Amino acid sequence: MNTVFDPTKPFPVLPSTAEVVGKSELKNGVFGSSRAQTGVIGQSETFIGVSGVGKLIGVSGESGGAEGIGIHGKGGRVAGLFEGNVEIMGSLTVRGVDLDTLLQRLAQLEEQDSNLQQLVQSVEILKQNVDRLTKDVFALMTVAHNPTQ
């Protein structure tokens, strides 16, 4: 009998702790299917609704439709939480914008920021030059009005 121990669970997950058990050596342990509704539903009032543990993949989701969604998450705090590295084999979209576009926009903003910093430095130099020239003009005007000095 395989026992999966998870310290966050109040007890080990054993076949004896479930109302319905599916077990097989070479085939799927449990199969649920529906033509018009959800094939398998898991629900818990106080803990995990559906849990999966596997040596290759713990939980897998796939949609056969072109517009389908493989795995959908929705939560009060976050829709998904991943502990460990995440590998994406396609594009990542954030609020309707793919990650490549967001990275391009970030690079453009960084370039604009660099340009603005250079402009600020140029303005500071110009301001110093104007201040210096103003003092020089004032000194020349003073000499012109007071030729004896």
Alpha carbon distance 132, 138 (integer Å): 10
Element holding 140 (H helix, E strand): helix 99-145
The SS3 assignment for 98 reads strand
pLDDT beyond 80 at 19: no
Say how far residue 5 (Cα) sits from the centre of its chain.
30
Instruction: Determine the pLDDT at residue 1.
Output: 44
Alpha carbon distance 114, 95 (integer Å): 27
Alpha carbon distance 11, 8 (integer Å): 9
Instruction: Determine the pLDDT at residue 116.
Output: 96
> Beta partners for 97?
94
| pLDDT tens for each residue of 58-99 | 888 888 888 899 998 998 999 998 889 999 998 889 888 898
Alpha carbon distance 52, 59 (integer Å): 5
Q: For residue 40, give both structure tokens.
A: 């398998």
Instruction: Determine the pLDDT at residue 57.
Output: 85
Of the listed ranges 46-55, 96-105, 133-142, the one predicted with least confidence: 46-55
